[in-house]
Amino acid sequence: MTKPAEVVGQTPLSYIEASLRKRKNRSRINGLIQRALVYLGAFFSVAVLVFIVAYILIMGVPNISLDLFAFEYNSVNVSLMPALINTLLMTALSLVIAVPLGICSAIYLIEYTGRGNKLVGVIRITAETLTGIPSIVYGLFGLLFFVTALGWRFSLLAGGFTLAIMILPIIMRTTEEALKAVPDTYREGSFGLGSGRLRTVFRILLPSAMPGILAGIILGIGRIVGESAALIYTAGTVAEIPSSVMDSTRTLSVHMYVLASEGLHIEKTYATAVVLLLIVLLINTLSALIARRLTRGKKNA
């Protein structure tokens, strides 16, 4: 950078000034490039995600028709109604299993154990492991355990249990967070009035933590509705409303997968995608709204 030849004939001070200016210019240009990169990157990320949703909506909404919601599924009219009802049943079943378990485990972890408990460490690690397991592995496990070993065959029940294990860590974590957020003064007040631990948990802590728990449950519902890989080999793909929990069913996501891979009813597949997308987005928005209201309430308090 320093070229002695250029210095000749210049006063040292002006040389320094010039080089400083040059450097400042360069750093300004660098800054501009970096800023442009960041803005471009952010724009592309958001644009791509918005584009996907918009594309599905634009292609799908005109194809939504009433016979898509007929109660009977057949090869001419690939109605999504049975799948929709199955999704509701599946969600209800999984929640009935996972919610009590998740809440009870969270209560145990937060209210009943001190720090440095070895069991708690193991539970935390296993819960984290469960979060990371891909859904196809859950599906395979469900096939080996519930479907084959317990002999439940492809059924609503096998699918429900598989999904329950899948959303258990979500419910646990959100309930833990919600319980942690309840101020200690509530606990002290309750103990001070002479109530036991159990009463404190059910009368004081759970009601105050309810919004957080609810947000977690709704998040779990979103996961259930969107799931397909874990269900194909546990609940099967029969597109009928089941008459018992031992019947094979197909949820909306699986229905969508089957339609897309058959490739016969492309317009109806678009329409089904819209319905699925809207349901999941709606559920997740609801969860986010409840969670945000919760944190805002805490800030005001």
Partner 1 sequence: MRKKSLRKHASALREKLAHVVFAIAACICILAVALICVFLFIYGIPAIAEIGVFKFLFTTTWRPSSDEFGILAMIVGSLYVTAGALIIGVPLGLLCALYLSRFASRRLAKIILPGVELLAGIPSVVYGFFGLVLLVPLVRQVFYVQGMSILTASIILGIMILPTIVTVSKAALDAVPNHYYEGALALGANHERCVFSVVLPAAISGVMASIILGVGRAIGETMAVVMIVGNQVWLPDSILSGVRTLTGNIVLEMGYAADLHRGALIATAVVLFVFILLINLLFGILKRRAKL
Longest dimension (CA), the chain: 98
Q: Indicate the SS3 state at residue 116.
A: coil
Letter string b/e over residues 178-214, b meaning 16 or more CB atoms within 10 A of that residue's CB: bbeebeeeebeebeeeeeeeeebbeebbbeebebbbb
| Binding to partner 1, residues 176-195 (CB under 8 A) | none
CA distance linking residue 157 with residue 169, whole number of Å: 20
Question: Which residue intervals of 8-75 are DSSP H helices?
Answer: 12-60
| Residues in binding contact with partner 1, number by CB under 8 A | 90
Determine if 117 is a binding residue for partner 1 (CB under 8 A). no
Min dist CB 140 to partner 1, Å, is: 5
Among 21, 22, 26, 35, binds partner 1 (CB under 8 A): 35
Min dist CB 192 to partner 1, Å, is: 17
DSSP summary character for residue 194: T
Among 6, 19, 55, 296, binds partner 1 (CB under 8 A): 55
Amino acid at 105: S
Determine if 100 is a binding residue for partner 1 (CB under 8 A). yes
State the distance between the two ends of the chain, measured CA to CA, in whole angstroms. 60
| Binding to partner 1, residues 256-295 (CB under 8 A) | 256-257, 260-261, 266, 269-270, 273, 276-277, 280-281, 283-285, 288, 292
Contact 200, 184 (CB under 8 A): no
For 132, the token pair is 């990371």
Determine if 163 is a binding residue for partner 1 (CB under 8 A). no
Determine if 233 is a binding residue for partner 1 (CB under 8 A). yes
Binding segment toward partner 1, per CB under 8 A, in 178-186, 224-232, 239-247, 293-301 = 224-232
Determine if 41 is a binding residue for partner 1 (CB under 8 A). yes
| Binding to partner 1, residues 125-144 (CB under 8 A) | 125-130, 132-141, 143-144
Among 80, 95, 107, 215, binds partner 1 (CB under 8 A): 107
CA distance linking residue 41 with residue 200, whole number of Å: 50
Tokens 């296993």 found at: 126
Among 84, 215, 225, 235, binds partner 1 (CB under 8 A): 225
Min dist CB 96 to partner 1, Å, is: 14
| Identity of the residue, 73 or 141, whose beta carbon is nearer to partner 1 in the bound complex | 141
Determine if 228 is a binding residue for partner 1 (CB under 8 A). yes
Q: 218 CB contacts (<8 Å, ≥6 apart)?
A: 283, 284, 286, 287, 290
Binding segment toward partner 1, per CB under 8 A, in 4-12, 74-82, 99-107, 182-190 = 99-107
For 130, the token pair is 């469960």
| Binding to partner 1, residues 10-29 (CB under 8 A) | 27-28
CA distance linking residue 74 with residue 113, whole number of Å: 55
Binding segment toward partner 1, per CB under 8 A, in 3-11, 41-49, 85-93, 240-248 = 41-49
Tokens 């019947």 found at: 247
Min dist CB 61 to partner 1, Å, is: 14
